[in-house]
Structure formats: C-alpha cells, structure tokens
C-alpha cells in the first residue's frame, strides 16, 4: 500500500514551478503538488481523524523540497503566540516537517516552524533521538487569515548528503505534523509517534523527481575579547568551509574553529565520580554530524563526543588549541560513509580520527565506526571499534544491538576491552508494550578518549512493561496516560551486586496543553564501587526516591513549570528523608519579551562525599539556586538574552566513615572538614542576524566559583555568589557566510 501511494504521488506530480515562500498558499504555485488531508491524532495517540482541519502540500522543485500547510483553528481554540530564539522549545502553535532524504530509516531531519515564524532544526537518529545542535539554511514564512493560519517551507537539496536516485527519481521518507499550543494536541501524517520504539522508519515513502544542487559556502569569523580581570585583549580568527559538489558528497573543513564563546554551559555542581555531559554548538562539529551518531542505551553515551576536540589539554594547561579539522561524508551506492579528522597544536595537542560506514536493507541496517586518538604528550594511542545493527523483523518487533571494542597502547603496554548492548521492543495490542534491555561494559573498556561513557565495568539488565491509556472521558483533566513498570539489576564486571531496582512511572498529557511526569524508585541494598575512586567499594543500604513534575503552557501572561522530589539515601542508622523542589514562572510582557525566575532548594540529610582513599563523610547538605533571565526577540533579526545562575551550598559533617574490605562502612573519628561553596554564571548576549547563518554577537560574561573549607549557611553563600568575579569578559564576534 505504501509503495502504491508513492507511485501514485509521483505519477500525479505536476511541473516543478518555483514557490514564493511568503506563508500564503497560492493555488497556482502549488498546482500539481501532493495534497495531504488525512491527518490523525498522535498526541494523545488515538489515531482518530484530526478534529482540526489540516491540509498540507508537498512539491519537489529544482530549488528544493517545498512544503505548505493550511491550518484551520476556530476561535474557540485560542492560538498561542510567542516569539522564540532559534531552537527554543515553546508550547506554541507550530508545524513540523521531518524528512529522511534516503528513505531508509537511518537519519532524518526535523524542521519546525512556529506560527510566529520562529524555527527549530534538528537531526534524528536511532528512530527517535533528536539533536538540536545542528543548524541548517532553509526558507520559511507564516501568515494568518481569519480562522486559518498557513506556513510554507523550502528545504534546499544541498542541506544534507543523500544517495543518488534511480531513473531520475528519489524516494524520501516524509512525516508532517501540527501542534495546537493551547491544548498540546498533535495531528500527523502518517500516524506515527516518536513515543513508540519505531518512528523514523515509519515515515511515508514519497517518490519525487531527482534534483541536485551544489554549494560552496565559506564562513570566516573574527573574535575580539577583553579580559577585565587580567586587563588583556585577545583577537582570533578562523574560517569554516562547506563544499557540496553534488547531493552525494559533502566536505566540511575548519581552520582555527570557534570554540563557541557565545554559548554558556549551565552551572553544574558535581562531586560524583561520573563526568558531566555537555552538548556542542560549534558550527563545524554540528554540520551534518548525523552519520557519526553511534550511541548506546547508557545515558548520553556515544563513540564520537565532539567536545573532546578542543577539550582540556593533556598537560592540564587549559583547552586544547584546534589547528584544523576536516569532515567528509556521502554515499556510494547502497553504502554511506563519513570521515573525520582534527588536529590540535602544541606539544600537548592530540590527533583525532574517525571512520563511519553504514549499509541499509529493507528491514535492517548495519554500521561500523572506528575512532583513533593519538596523545603524544601521554605516549598513548586509543582505538575503538563499534558495530551497530538495527533490525525490524516484524511490524511489532524492534531490535537494536551494539558491539564495542577498545585497544589502548600506552608507554609500551596494551589494554583491550569490550562491551555490548541489546534492546528489544515489542508492541502488543491495546496500548501494551514490553522492553528487554541488556548492557555489558567490560572493566577494561575505554572509549572516552574520543567518546563518552559515564562508566565502564558494568552489567545491567531490565524488563519494562508499559500501557498507554487514551480513552479517557472528556470530563477528565487528562488527555492520556502512559504507565511504565520496570525491574532492573546492576552488577559490575567482577560480579559485585550494585543495585536491584523497581521503578514505576506515569507520563500524562493534560487537556490544558501541559504535561505531568511522576516516578518512584525502590532500590535494594548493594555496593557503590565508584564512590571511593578505585579504593574498593562501600555498602549502601536499601533506599528509595520519588519525583513529580508539572508544566503548564502560557495562558494569558504566565507560563509555569515546577517539580518536587523526595529521597531516603546515605549510610548509617539515622537516615532521614531529603527533598528538593524547583519552581519556574515565566511572565510575558509581550509575545516577543519574557522574563523568568527559577528557584531551587535542596536538603540531603545524608549526603555521602568522598574524601580520600577509602574515607568518606556524610554531610547535612542544603543548597539554594536562583536562575533568572530575559528573552527579547527584537524584530526578525535581533535578539537579546540575559542569563543568570547563582548557587549557594552548605555541607556540615555528620560522620566520617571508612570502608571495610567487605564494603561495610565503619564510623571513625578522623577529621573531615565541613565545607560550603558558591558559584555564579552571568551572561548578556546580543545577536544581530546579518544573513542566514551569519551573525554579529556582543557578549558580556562574568562568573566565579569558591569552595570554603568551613560551613556557612546556603542563603549567605547564595547572596555572596553575586560578588564573585573570577572571570569577566567582553566579547565581540562576527561571522559571515558567503555562498559561492
């Protein structure tokens, strides 16, 4: 049936006339386009016909893939307006085009257009993993007329590498949807949902005439900054290049790339053994990066984590200095490939290389990824090989398998490690779904020279059963519920039992457009083998934690989000309940101007913090955090963002402990100091868009961090955080994209 639909769509296609992207559906321009009206409700996932008349047109033109929407929305269903910055999530009326240019279910691209003409663009991998780091150059416009509003998009053919078609045709995978901001409902064609195990491979095939566009884009940039602490000026410059000679090949290169000075990471207080993951917004490292996506079910894990390039240098002198990097990706017949190389300067500089190959079949796809990093300063070479396989044997069954191997050569010694993961999803009738997951990461597996894995030395398995309810009465405040129940077990690779857990979750959509999520975890007693940093393990008693969050989209001038959690953790006989809570109201002065304040408080009566070797302390910890900001979209080309984060934390010692050889915590009278800390991050960022992907930034930033070896109450620490001034900088950055 789907193949027949694709053939009919191609047969009825009219002449490829140019589309004037003005947001108005001109029947003459869209003559011969494919007309889609069968939109179905997918949030909640009832697949009922759309209660809101929605029409879409799809047309392949020499300039690109054109999409038009006409959305009927009666006055009884208010439209939700908000001017957004690029890639900003907002519960606003919007439409989405998602397209798989090769039609093989491997990589997709998401183009979101708000009613206020704001945009989001993202890549899609592993069926439903969205990544907004990528920015593309595409045209868009919206308009309103009475009880309808319309949207138009034009996606150039050079926006992504794609396979060569056959006999003058290519087959795309297409998904279209529309979201009603005031209710949260989503209607789509086809009736696929990213909440299910299979999404990208469920796109409707659409045969279109084959067009090809070439592109040569050169983006030089210059940065000037003044360090107000050191009293020093700094100037830098570089260039990014994108060359797409045809649809099948793309070369991206950079010389002295911008390390993203205009983006600020969120403040994180991390006293744990696991590294914090941060996303990457540097243009070179996000341009068509989807081919290199190789993740596992472990949170954020991937074989190519681009923040390693230009990350902390091997000699501890600060960020690595990237000299140049190059990326080549494309397709050869049924195969897709990607090549990546980056070089850092100076004696502590590293060399990064990666190779990616994928082959797609009717019901499965197979891939290989090889990475290598040379560390001359450390006399170390790290090589990692990964094989990924996605199998869709039936309509209801989905299987994802990953195999990993690493080899580390350092100072004449060689270490090998291995890992594997399997995820099996099976959809039953009446909203039921079952999932089995197994992960093995060997003790000697090391992928973090170029990749990211929160921890190796792990064996984990779970079985999860879920049920979706969409037939709720009209009088209910809820539109749908999804319940999940999970049992899991975690050991390390030496057979040490770390944890057994029962988890219960409920995800709910509300008829006011908001969402709710609730979760409770009941954990058995076990061992923590990471806390002591290689000095054995420590026994942890049975514990539990619970979490609830609620969001409500903008109604009038206000939008709200909040969450609350409770837990009972730590060690010792007198463990008490801890709690945390967060509340974030946002006030809209206008559709283009909003301010928000986030308040967060936390109390952990038995916070366990490592001190040295097998010594830990339990602390009575209290923390306060304030986040605040201003978002002002000034016309179509300008935006102003103010972002403030301040943290105050106090930790008073309750007891010092030593871990016995069997992990039993033994109270000791050794001196362990109270401590407190404060942290500040403040940024004012002005952006002027000179042209697509060409910007002028003026950024002022200030921050600081101070750890005190004595306790001061968290409120005082929070107040004093505003006086921190470890860094203060004014930066001006100009980049301009020349398309030749």
pLDDT in tens, 367-419: 999 999 999 999 999 999 999 999 999 989 999 999 999 999 999 999 999 99
Asked whether the predicted pLDDT for residue 696 surpasses 70, the reply is: yes
Instruction: Return d(Cα 95, Cα 691) in angstroms, integer.
Output: 24
If you average pLDDT over residues 614-621, what whole number do you get? 96
* Domains in the chain: ranges and CATH: 2-212 (2.60.40.1190), 526-740 (no CATH)
pLDDT on residue 269: 74
Q: How confident is the model at residue 166 (pLDDT cuts 50, 70, 90)?
A: confident
pLDDT on residue 318: 85
Asked whether the predicted pLDDT for residue 306 surpasses 60, the reply is: yes
CA proximity to 358, closest of 452, 423, 284, 292: 292
pLDDT on residue 319: 87
Q: Helix or strand or coil: residue 364?
A: strand
By the 8 A CB rule, do 646 and 679 touch? yes
Percent of the chain with pLDDT over 90: 76
pLDDT on residue 11: 41
Q: Which two three-digit tokens encode residue 69?
A: 């929407």
Task: Tell me the whole-structure pTM to 2 decimals.
Answer: 0.88
Instruction: Return d(Cα 83, Cα 117) in angstroms, integer.
Output: 8
Asked whether the predicted pLDDT for residue 5 surpasses 50, the reply is: no
pLDDT in tens, 419-445: 999 999 999 988 999 999 999 999 999
By the 8 A CB rule, do 47 and 82 touch? no
pLDDT on residue 258: 64
pLDDT on residue 262: 67
pLDDT in tens, 207-235: 999 998 899 999 999 999 999 999 999 99
pLDDT on residue 13: 43
Asked whether the predicted pLDDT for residue 8 surpasses 50, the reply is: no
Asked whether the predicted pLDDT for residue 650 surpasses 80, the reply is: yes
pLDDT in tens, 573-600: 889 999 999 999 999 999 999 999 999 9
Q: How confident is the model at residue 261 (pLDDT cuts 50, 70, 90)?
A: low
Asked whether the predicted pLDDT for residue 636 surpasses 80, the reply is: yes
**CA distance to 220, 222, 564, per residue, from 236 (Å):** 11, 6, 45
pLDDT on residue 349: 93
Reduced 3-state DSSP string for 100-165:
ECCCCCCEEEEEEEECCCCEEEEEEECCCEEECCCCCCCEEEEEEECCEEEEEEEECHHHCCCCCC
Asked whether the predicted pLDDT for residue 66 surpasses 90, the reply is: yes
Asked whether the predicted pLDDT for residue 160 surpasses 50, the reply is: yes
Asked whether the predicted pLDDT for residue 7 surpasses 50, the reply is: no
Instruction: Return d(Cα 686, Cα 709) in angstroms, integer.
Output: 38
Instruction: Return d(Cα 620, Cα 640) in angstroms, integer.
Output: 40
Question: Who has greater pLDDT, 4 or 691?
Answer: 691
By the 8 A CB rule, do 326 and 318 touch? no
What does the CA dihedral 113, 114, 116, 117 come to, rounded to 10 degrees?
-10
**Residue 720: which H helix or E strand, with range?**
helix 714-721
Q: How confident is the model at residue 161 (pLDDT cuts 50, 70, 90)?
A: confident
Asked whether the predicted pLDDT for residue 564 surpasses 60, the reply is: yes
CA proximity to 434, closest of 425, 443, 442: 425
pLDDT on residue 588: 95
pLDDT on residue 6: 45
Question: Who has greater pLDDT, 128 or 289?
Answer: 128
Instruction: Return d(Cα 586, Cα 558) in angstroms, integer.
Output: 6
Q: How confident is the model at residue 710 (pLDDT cuts 50, 70, 90)?
A: confident
Backbone phi and psi for residue 202, each to the nearest 5 degrees, phi listed first: -95, 0
Instruction: Return d(Cα 439, Cα 249) in angstroms, integer.
Output: 35
By the 8 A CB rule, do 74 and 326 touch? no
The string over 327-352, giving b where at least 16 C-beta atoms fall within 10 Å of a residue's C-beta and e elsewhere, is bbbbbeeeebbbbbbbbbeeebbbeb
Longest dimension (CA), the chain: 85
Instruction: Return d(Cα 585, Cα 43) in angstroms, integer.
Output: 25
pLDDT on residue 9: 44
**CA distance to 316, 342, 377, 637, per residue, from 349 (Å):** 11, 10, 7, 39
Q: Which two three-digit tokens encode residue 213?
A: 């566009």
User: What's the mean pLDDT when you consider all of the chain?
Assistant: 92
Asked whether the predicted pLDDT for residue 633 surpasses 50, the reply is: yes
DSSP string for residues in 659-711: E-TTS-EEEE------EEEEEEEEEEEEEEEEETTEEEEEEEEEEEEEEESS-
If you average pLDDT over residues 346-356, what whole number do you get? 94
């Amino acid at each position: 049936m789907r193949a027949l639909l694709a053939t009919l769509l191609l047969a009825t296609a009219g002449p490829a006339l140019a589309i004037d992207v003005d947001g108005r559906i001109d029947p003459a321009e869209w003559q011969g386009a494919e007309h889609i009206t069968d939109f179905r409700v997918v949030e909640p996932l009832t697949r009922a016909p759309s209660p809101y008349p929605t029409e879409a047109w799809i047309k392949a033109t020499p300039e690109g893939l054109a999409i038009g929407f006409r959305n009927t929305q009666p006055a009884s269903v208010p439209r939700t307006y908000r001017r957004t910055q690029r890639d900003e999530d907002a519960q606003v009326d919007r439409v989405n085009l998602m397209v798989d240019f090769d039609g093989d279910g491997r990589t997709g691209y998401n183009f979101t257009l708000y009613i206020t003409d704001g945009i989001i663009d993202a890549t899609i991998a592993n069926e439903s993993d969205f990544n907004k780091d990528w920015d593309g150059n595409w045209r868009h416009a919206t308009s309103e007329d009475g009880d309808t509003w319309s949207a138009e998009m034009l996606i150039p053919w050079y926006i992504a590498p794609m396979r060569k078609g056959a006999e003058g045709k290519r087959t795309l995978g297409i998904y279209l949807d529309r979201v009603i901001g005031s209710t949260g409902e989503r209607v789509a064609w086809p009736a696929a949902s990213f909440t299910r195990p299979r999404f990208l491979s469920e796109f409707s095939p659409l045969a279109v005439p084959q067009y090809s566009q070439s592109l040569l884009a050169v983006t030089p940039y210059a940065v000037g900054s003044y360090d107000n602490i050191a009293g020093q000026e700094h100037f830098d410059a570089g260039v990014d290049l994108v060359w797409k000679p045809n649809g099948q090949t793309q070369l991206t290169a950079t010389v002295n790339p911008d390390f993203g000075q205009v983006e600020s990471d969120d403040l994180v207080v991390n006293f744990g053994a696991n590294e914090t993951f941060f996303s990457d917004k540097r243009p070179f490292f996000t341009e068509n990066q989807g081919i290199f996506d190789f993740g596992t079910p472990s949170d954020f894990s991937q074989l190519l984590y681009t923040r390693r390039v230009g990350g902390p240098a091997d000699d501890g002198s600060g960020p690595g200095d990237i000299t140049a990097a190059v990326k080549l990706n494309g397709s050869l017949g049924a195969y897709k490939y990607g090549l990546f190389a980056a070089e850092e300067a100076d004696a502590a500089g590293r060399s990064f290389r990666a190779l990616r190959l994928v082959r797609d079949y009717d019901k499965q796809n197979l891939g290989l990824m090889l990475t290598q990093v040379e560390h001359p300063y450390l006399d170390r070479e790290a090589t990692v090989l990964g094989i990924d396989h996605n199998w869709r044997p039936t309509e209801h069954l989905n299987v994802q398998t990953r195999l990993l191997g690493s080899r580390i050569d350092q100072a004449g010694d060689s270490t090998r490690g291995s890992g594997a993961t399997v995820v099996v999803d099976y959809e039953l009738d009446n909203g039921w779904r079952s999932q089995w997951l197994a992960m093995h990461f060997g003790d000697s597996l090391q992928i973090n020279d170029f990749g990211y894995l929160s921890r190796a030395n792990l064996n984990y398995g779970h079985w999860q059963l879920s049920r979706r309810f969409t037939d709720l009465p009209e009088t209910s405040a809820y539109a749908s519920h999804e319940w999940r129940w999970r049992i899991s077990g975690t050991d390390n690779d030496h057979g040490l039992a770390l944890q057994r857990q029962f988890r219960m979750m409920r995800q709910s959509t509300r008829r006011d457009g908001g969402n709710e999520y609730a979760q409770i975890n009941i954990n058995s007693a076990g061992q923590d083998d990471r806390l002591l940093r290689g000095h054995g393990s420590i026994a942890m008693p049975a514990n539990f934690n619970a979490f609830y969050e609620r969001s409500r989209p903008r109604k009038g001038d206000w939008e709200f989000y909040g969450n609350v959690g409770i837990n009972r953790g730590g060690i010792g006989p007198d463990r008490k309940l801890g709690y945390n809570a967060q509340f974030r109201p946002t006030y809209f002065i206008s559709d283009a101007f909003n301010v928000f304040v986030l308040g967060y408080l936390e109390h952990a009566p038995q916070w366990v913090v490592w001190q040295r070797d097998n010594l830990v302390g339990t602390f009575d910890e209290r923390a306060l955090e304030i986040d605040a900001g201003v978002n002002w979209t000034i016309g179509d080309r300008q935006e102003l963002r103010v972002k403030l984060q301040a943290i105050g934390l106090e930790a008073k010692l309750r007891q010092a402990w030593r871990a016995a050889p069997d992990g039993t915590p033994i109270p000791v009278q050794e001196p362990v100091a109270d401590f407190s800390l404060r942290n500040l991050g403040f940024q004012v960022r002005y952006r002027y868009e000179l042209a697509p992907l060409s910007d002028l930034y003026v950024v002022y930033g200030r921050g600081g961090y101070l750890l005190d070896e004595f306790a001061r109450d968290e409120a005082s620490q929070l107040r004093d955080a505003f006086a921190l001034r470890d860094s203060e900088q004014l930066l001006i950055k100009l980049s301009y994209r020349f398309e030749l």
